[in-house]
Amino acid sequence: MSVADFVLRDLDGELKEKLRQRAARRKRSLNAELREIVRVALTRPQACGPAEFRTPAPGVRAVGADRAQTTLRQRRSGR
């Protein structure tokens, strides 16, 4: 596996300071903290975006908001 070098340009001063503080709290260098942020961001499961919620999954039919609220109330009350 090869190692890549990156240069992060035009980082807002406030963000740089927050990054510096975060790295210091975790006793890491700025580079080590950036590597960890990128590693975590790219290895955790991706959350669904708004567009994915608009399209029902196969076999699921849309239910009106009133019926959905009634069904939710019934489930919460144990019916």
Domain ranges of the chain: 10-46
Strands (E) across 1-79 are located at none
Provide the token pair at 61: 């039919």
Q: Which residues contact 23 (CB under 8 A, 6 or more apart)?
A: 29, 30, 32, 33
Q: Please list the rounded mean pLDDT of every run of 10 residues in the chain (79 residues).
A: 85 95 96 94 78 65 58 66
Q: What is the pLDDT of residue 38?
A: 93
Q: How many angstroms separate the CA atoms of 46 and 42, rounded?
A: 8
Three-state DSSP at 64 gives: coil
